[in-house]
Amino acid sequence: MKKSLLALVAGLLLAGNVSAASAADKLKVGFIYLGPIGDLGWTYQHELARQALVKELGDKIETTYLENVPEGPDAERAIEQLVRAGNKLIFTTSFGYMDPTLKVAKKYPNVHFEHATGYKRDKNMSTYSAKWYQGRYIQGLIAAKMSKSGVLGYIGSFPIPEVVSGINATILAAQTINPNIKVKIIWANTWFDPGKEADAAKALIDQGADIIMQHTDSPAAMQIASERGKLAFGQDSEMIKFGPKTQLTSILDTWGSYYIERVKAELDGTWKSEDSWGGLDSHLFAMAPYTNMPDDVKKIAEDAQAAITAGKLHPFKCPVIGQDGKEIECKGGANLADGQILGMNFYVKGIDDKLPGK
């Protein structure tokens, strides 16, 4: 009895060693998340992508994630922790991790890094982001078609170029359908505070907006719009559960295929530092199904999506007129240059509001 028990223990130990050895052969891939994986928005979408990655390449890789990592010096510690744990490819999934990632990347030249939505790169550090403004353009078309009051309500997070270009793309699209369309913009000055987002949505509806658009992360605004019988667009994630009769569409962050592609490159030894900024023609984001709208509006949306995907339609086609009535210098030939969109810090004509800080 005793002997067999010993044998069993020895066997278990051996088995343990074997599995550890095979784990060491697997490529270790690490992820740094800003929020909790259950935020139903930004971080949740990265987590879904990680799960897709594991499903596709699970036999060759081992993944680890750290959630709720604050942007700033703490992030550097967290990233280094992943390096020390043997991760060879590390995805840092928020803008604020830019400098910490760069710092760690310089320290460990043999580890590869992928930073989301930033602009600083190194020979072992890539960046990736999506042209969400294309999706906002489609939403602008739908909003102008569906609005009865002619007033759109827009909840912004922070007045950074990504958000400002989204507002401009929306209003430029809406103007092609209703030249007199109005947009009311409320800055929440936070990415995530369900209560405040709900308050902002209430304020916009109380002031006459009947379509709610958001660039903040929680489904609170969608829920308020649903309660008040208005229409709304989701953000980052599928939010139709919070407004089955409310959601028109949503911009979905779909990082999965990018993660799979990059990890495959790492496995093949072909990984190179790159700057990926993909639009609807890539797989970096997608539009949720067009719902709660008549067929003719749906067709407009689908046609626009097809045209943008094919490169025939550009939301920032020149001439783009600024708020002061002057034409914005066109640096990209027929359209605004990518750099102008990535650094956008002006409102277009038709927005009766002042960009904070301008």
Partner 1 sequence: MELVEAIILSVLAASTPLLIAATGELVTERSGVLNLGVEGMMIVGAACGFGGAWLTGSIFVGALFGIVAGTLMSLMFALMALGLAVNQVATGLALTILGVGLSGLIGAGFVGERITPAAHLNIPGLTDIPLVGRVLFGEDAFIYFSIALIIGVWWFLYRTRAGLILRACGDNHISAHALGYPVLHIRTLAVMFGGACAGLAGAYLPLAYTPFFIPGMTAGRGWIALALVVFASWRPGRLVVGAYLFGAVTILQLHAQGWGVGIPSQFMSALPYLATVIVLVLLSRARTGGSTAPAALGTVFVPDR
Chain positions contacting partner 1, by CB under 8 A:
35-36, 38-40, 68, 153, 159, 184-190, 192-200, 202-204, 206-207, 218-220, 223-224, 227, 241-242, 352-354, 356-357
Cβ proximity to partner 1: between 219 and 315 the closer is: 219
> Mapped to the 3 state alphabet, what secondary structure does 202-223 carry?
HHHHHCCCCEEEECCCCCHHHH
Render the burial of 185-211: b for 16+ CB within 10 Å, e for the rest: bbbbeebbbeebbbbbbbebbeeebbb
Instruction: Give min distance, CB of 59 to partner 1, in A.
Output: 27
DSSP, res 262: H
Q: Which two tokens stand for residue 196?
A: 């405040």
Q: How far is the CB of 330 from partner 1 (least distance, A)?
A: 28
The residue (of 40 and 79) whose beta carbon lies closer to partner 1 is 40
Cβ distance to partner 1 smaller for residue 223 or 305: 223
Shortest separation between residue 189's beta carbon and partner 1, angstroms = 4
CA distance 311 to 342: 18
Q: Report the nearest approach of partner 1 to the CB of residue 316 (Å).
A: 24
DSSP characters over 105-147:
HHH-TTSEEEEES----BTTEEEEEE-HHHHHHHHHHHHHHH-
Measured from the CB atom, is 37 or 248 closer to partner 1? 37
Tell me the Ramachandran region of residue 187: left when phi exceeds 0, alpha when psi lies from -120 to 50, beta otherwise: beta
CB of 101 to partner 1, least distance (A): 23
User: In this complex, which beta carbon is closest to partner 1, that of residue 19 or of residue 207?
Assistant: 207
Nearer to partner 1, 196 or 283 (CB): 196
Sheet with 285-287: list strands edge to edge.
Answer: 182-187, 151-156, 211-214, 231-236, 247-253, 285-287
Q: Which two tokens stand for residue 145?
A: 């078609």
The least CB distance from residue 129 to partner 1, in Å, is 24
